[in-house]
Every structure is written in C-alpha cells, then in structure tokens.
Amino acid sequence: MTYENTATTAATSTTSSASAPASPLVLGAMMFGTRIDEKTSFALLDRFVERGGEWIDTADCYAFWASQDGRGGDSERVIGRWLAARPGVRQRVRIATKLGAEPLWAGSWPQVRAGLSRRAVADAFAGSLDRLGVDSVDLLWLHQEDRATPIEETVDAVADLVASGAVRRVGASNHPAWRIERARAHAAATGTRPIDALQLNATYLRARPGTLPEGVVHPFGLLSDEQRDIAEAYRLEVWAYTPLLSGAYDDPAKPVPPVYDHPGSTRRLAALDDVARDTGATRGQVVLAWLVAQGIRPILGGSKPYQLEAALDGVSLDLTDEHLARLAVAG
C-alpha cells in the first residue's frame, strides 16, 4: 500500500458543515482540566468550532505537572466529556494527541518516562482512546524521542494502529531530523504511513544560538534550519507551539524572554511594530499571520476567550508581499 502525503492538503481542508476553509489555528488543550476549569474549557472549545476551528491538540501527559496526582490525562478527559456532550461535533473537529512523555509514576519525569517502545505505544494509545471516548484520532504524535528504543520499533508499533484504522496520520514532536528520516525510510520499506508532520517551538523571533526558550524541555524541540529543511524536502506539515511567547509580544507585564535578547530581535520587533501599525493588528496577530504565510500551523494555548478571538483574527490576517518582505529583511 502506498501512502500519499496529506500535509499539503491539511491547511486547506474543510469542515463537513461548511464550504469555507477551516482555520489554520490549532487549539492547544494542554491545561484543560487543570489550570483551565472544565466550564472555561468547554466555552473555548465551543467558540473555536463556531469560528471554523478544526484541529484540537492534546497529549496523554497533559498536564501532569499541574494535576493533583502528578499524572497526565486531565486534558484528554475534558475533551472526551466535551465530545460526549456535543453530539455530532466529532465530525467537525480533528483530534491530535501525543504519547511517550507521560511519567511512569508521579515525580519520575524526565528521568523515567513511558517512552516509545512497542508495548508503551500500544498501552498509552489505548488509554488515550478511553479518556477521549473515541475509536480513532486524526493525528498521533510521538511526543519526545526515545533513544532507548529503536525508531524502527516505534514505527512498527504505530503501523499496527494505522492498520487497525485507529490512527489516520502520524507526526513527531521534539525529534531530530535524522530520526525523522530513519522513521520515514522504515515506514516506506514496510508499507505503512510515514510521519508527515512535525511539532516544534517556533515564532518570529529567533533564540540566541545554543539556547532554548523557556518551556522547550527537549534539545531538539526548537525548530531549526535542518528540521525546516527536511520538512520542505518531504512536504511535511509544521506545527508551532508557544508561537506568542506566552503573551510577551503584546503584554507589557511579560518581557520578551532573555534568550531573544540580541540585536536581531531589536530589528524584528521594530518590523513587527511597523506591520502592526499598517494593518491595525497587534504584534502577536502579525506573528501568527507570518507563521501561516510560512506554511506553519500555530498552536494557541491561551486560557481566555479574548485570547482565542484575537488568535483566530490573527491567522486570518492577510499580509501583503510588502509586509512579508519587511519582516524577511528584518530577519
């Protein structure tokens, strides 16, 4: 069986209930059920769908660091209860979840994680389906690389899920480019669906070489030129987490993190200010529009309705060629 790459069509996919293209924004559900209560989570999910949102991103380990028992699963449970309370909405949304980073016991992360062995993948995915209350997911992410497990074993484990119809697409988050290459080569050799999406930290500002932004806990979690190159070569979809620097672009109370403190950022921020004035948008909205223009799908992890509204407006912002050229020159 030959699997075609679906990443290039994802950005222009449509919901079953509308003819207009779905929003490229992803709703990140990391803190649903922990720092974001269920009522607010449901309201965000409802509004996201009302405005054409399609992709919802979660993980089996979300959010173990904020949960009462030190384990993940709260986010998936909230999404599962929302799906159950909204008959028919499953046909309007696409669910992406991740596995491999859940601590084996409270306090064991990062030294001891579930990992990506064949047994770990099967057990973790069964748990995700149960919490979500679904029989399949639209995209399964390998959350963090597992050097203790050959990547070929992980590919074979996911192949079983693809063959069963429980997984439609496969992605990798926080993996180096060479392991993506090996995984895709093994998938091609064995006739299963290859990885066609990468999820990494990305934004308009660039971190100083040799540094990682706060919240990027994996050495290969920051979108690099090499990862972008392999994505372009194989037409892999790229998803960006923490694209708005947790609000630092627009909130005076949140300074831009120190890893971005260099002359290049000064030029880039000035360009953002110029384009924001031209468009009447905020800096953050320009960043989101710029990411979409680069073919990158941004993930919003906001907890408040106004943040969701602003982000949905941002990804719909049309930047002119002149605006994009100004932003490129500044970089």
- Read off the CATH number of the domain in which 160 is found: 3.20.20.100
| Distance in angstroms (rounded) separating the CA atoms of residues 221 and 214 | 11
What integer pLDDT is reported at residue 145 of this predicted model?
96
What integer pLDDT is reported at residue 10 of this predicted model?
43
Q: Are 35 and 302 in contact (CB under 8 A)?
A: no
Residue 95 lies in a domain: yes
What integer pLDDT is reported at residue 16 of this predicted model?
41
Quote the number of domains for the chain: 1
Residue 44 lies in a domain: yes
Element (H, E) at 171: strand 170-173
Start-end of H helices in 26-150: 38-50, 74-85, 118-132
Look-up: residue for tokens 């980073």? Answer: 101
Element (H, E) at 190: helix 177-190
The whole-number mean pLDDT for each consecutive block of 10 residues of the chain, a chain of 331 residues, reads: 54 45 95 97 98 98 96 98 97 98 89 94 98 98 97 98 98 97 98 98 96 90 96 98 96 94 95 97 98 98 93 97 96 76
* Structural domain that includes position 299: 8-330
What integer pLDDT is reported at residue 214 of this predicted model?
86
What integer pLDDT is reported at residue 199 of this predicted model?
98
Closest listed residue to residue 104, CA positions, set 139, 146, 153 = 146
Predicted TM-score (pTM) of the model is 0.94
| Distance in angstroms (rounded) separating the CA atoms of residues 256 and 117 | 38
Residue 3 lies in a domain: no
What integer pLDDT is reported at residue 14 of this predicted model?
40
Residue 263 lies in a domain: yes
Strand pairing partners for 144?
A: none
Strands (E), 55-124: 55-57, 94-99
Task: Give the single-character DSSP code of 212.
Answer: -
Residue 2 lies in a domain: no
What integer pLDDT is reported at residue 15 of this predicted model?
42
* Six-digit token string for 151: 């990547």
Residue 167 lies in a domain: yes
| Distance in angstroms (rounded) separating the CA atoms of residues 173 and 197 | 8
Q: Determine the distance from the C-alpha atom of residue 275 to the mean position of all C-alpha atoms in its chain, rounded to a whole number.
A: 26
Residue 1 lies in a domain: no
